[in-house]
């Protein structure tokens, strides 16, 4: 018999020469690479993985996404600089991510034995009621963070990046710009490149609380989103699983709804089917769904109708958004989702900021604090449909 044939995925390989170095951020640098037959190719390198290419370097590229002209992932990716390899890694670390692919990397996990945090994570079993805002898309992150800090600028906020989108945290320009406003980034599952690495969303949440000292955490996939137009075939399904992790660990899951009146696809207008599926059908431990007031009568009615069928475990809160639009206007990063900016997708970003505000108002008071000292605004956060 001949060799067994498989339907393995294919990589489009190319060699080229770096002709220009562009902007850089966190752990990413843009390049122009001249490739025979393809011309000037927009490329990206992650220095922590392949080193830092320079003009004149010959590089090996994966041009699969570039050739398909994909959106977020539409770069050619530098796989190696064959004539100038980076130094070998130093230190411990046996968590392998991107496992059994040609580009697997080893990192030190917050939950492995050799790390200074192993004892903390071994003993931690609870989030102490920490609110956790869960969003479907990475683009919600800055708006959620703005909603939290506009409500209480003294709160420590950690970000947990799951592996539904980009795996490399350094790819996100948003994270680079928000670094000063975050207590830290924890990359979970196959995602890597955060300030802390974790095997699961569960240990990532525990690290956010007990290592980074977060008052609030935000969970979403990295940049990019895989969708197929089918009810279950989208990477954001894992938002519901993240809510389950929050419930198991004794946190408060808060859902940042994906709301739009600009998306041309009917399944994403009003409350997206992504939110209704992930939160309504996957999040079996319950999640508070936050809808912003001020959407306008027509969209507001549609959102209310879309959320009317939520199970009893998912209370719906209509949140006042006074001051949030002004805060969103001062965002340190451009607010954009699916190629549309704030003016087109105001409801989406307002919903994310409202979820952040709700979470900020639900932060438990320190032990021994008189609950009469709680913010007066907290009354607006009581679960109630409105």
Q: What is the mean pLDDT of the chain?
A: 90
Q: What is the model's pLDDT at position 370? A: 61
Q: What is the model's pLDDT at position 356? A: 98
Other beta carbons less than 10 A from residue 224's beta carbon: 20
Q: Are 147 and 352 in contact (CB under 8 A)?
A: yes
Mean pLDDT across 203-208: 98
State the Cα–Cα distance between residues 307 and 137, nearest whole angstrom: 19
Return the residue matching tokens 């709301």: 259
The 8-class DSSP code of residue 25 comes to E
Q: What is the model's pLDDT at position 56? A: 97
Q: What is the model's pLDDT at position 90? A: 76
Q: Which residues contact 372 (CB under 8 A, 6 or more apart)?
A: none
**For the ranges 98-102, 174-178, 370-374, the one whose mean pLDDT is highest:** 174-178
Q: What is the model's pLDDT at position 305? A: 95
pLDDT, one tens digit per residue, over 300-344 is 999 999 999 999 999 999 999 999 999 999 999 999 998 899 999
Mean pLDDT across 269-298: 94
Q: What is the model's pLDDT at position 386? A: 35
State the Cα angle at 373 between 367 and 377, rounded to 5°: 120
pLDDT greater than 90 at residue 224: no
pLDDT, one tens digit per residue, over 145-180 is 999 999 999 999 999 999 999 899 999 999 999 999
Predicted TM-score (pTM) of the model is 0.86
pLDDT, one tens digit per residue, over 6-52 is 455 578 899 999 999 999 998 999 999 999 999 999 999 999 889 99
The DSSP bridge pattern shows strands 105-107 and 131-135 to be unpaired
Domains in the chain and their CATH numbers? Answer: 13-80 (2.40.50.220), 118-381 (3.40.50)
**311-339 per-residue burial string, b: 16 or more CB within 10 A, e: under 16:** eeebebbbbebeebeebbeebebebebbe
pLDDT greater than 80 at residue 383: no
pLDDT greater than 70 at residue 71: no
State the Cα–Cα distance between residues 29 and 138, nearest whole angstrom: 20
| Phi, psi dihedral angles at 160 (to 5 degrees) | -105, 120
Q: Taken in order 365, 369, 375, 379, is the CA torsion positive or negative?
A: positive
Tokens of 48: 């922590």
Q: What percent of the chain lies above the pLDDT cut of 70?
A: 91
Q: What is the model's pLDDT at position 247? A: 98
Tokens of 175: 């994270």
pLDDT, one tens digit per residue, over 113-154 is 888 999 999 999 999 999 999 999 999 999 999 999 999 999
């Amino acid at each position: 018999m001949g060799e067994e044939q498989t339907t393995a995925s294919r990589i489009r390989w190319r060699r080229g020469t770096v002709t220009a170095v562009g902007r850089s951020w966190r752990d990413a640098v843009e390049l122009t690479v001249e490739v025979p037959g393809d011309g000037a190719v927009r490329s990206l390198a992650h220095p922590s993985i392949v080193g830092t290419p320079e003009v004149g370097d010959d590089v090996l590229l994966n041009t699969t996404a570039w050739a398909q002209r994909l959106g977020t992932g539409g770069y050619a990716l530098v796989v190696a600089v064959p004539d100038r390899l980076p130094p070998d890694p130093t230190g411990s670390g046996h968590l392998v991510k991107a496992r059994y692919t040609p580009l697997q990397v080893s990192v030190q996990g917050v939950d492995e034995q050799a790390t200074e945090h192993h004892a903390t994570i071994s003993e931690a079993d609870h989030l102490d009621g920490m609110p956790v805002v869960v969003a479907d898309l990475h683009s919600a992150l800055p708006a959620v963070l703005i909603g939290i800090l506009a409500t209480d600028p003294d709160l420590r906020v950690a970000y947990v990046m799951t592996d539904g989108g980009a795996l490399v945290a350094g790819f996100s320009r948003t994270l680079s710009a928000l670094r000063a406003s975050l207590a830290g980034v924890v990359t979970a599952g196959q995602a890597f490149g955060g300030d802390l690495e974790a095997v699961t969303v569960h240990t990532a949440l525990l690290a956010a609380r007990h290592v980074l000292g977060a008052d609030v955490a935000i969970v979403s996939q990295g940049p990019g989103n895989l969708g197929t137009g089918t009810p279950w075939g989208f990477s954001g399904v894992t938002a519901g699983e993240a809510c389950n992790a929050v419930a198991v660990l004794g946190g408060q899951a808060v859902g940042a709804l994906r709301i739009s009146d600009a998306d041309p696809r009917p399944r994403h207008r009003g409350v997206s089917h992504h939110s209704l599926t992930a939160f309504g059908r996957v999040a079996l431990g319950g999640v508070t769904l936050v809808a912003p007031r001020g959407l306008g009568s027509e969209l507001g009615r549609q959102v209310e109708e879309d959320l009317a069928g939520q199970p009893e475990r998912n209370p719906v809160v209509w949140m006042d958004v006074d001051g949030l639009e002004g805060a969103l206007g001062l965002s340190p990063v451009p607010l954009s989702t699916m190629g549309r900016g704030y003016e087109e997708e105001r409801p989406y970003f307002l919903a994310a900021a409202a979820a952040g505000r709700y979470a900020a108002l639900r932060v438990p008071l320190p032990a021994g604090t008189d609950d009469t000292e709680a913010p007066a605004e907290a009354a607006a956060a009581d679960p109630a449909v409105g």
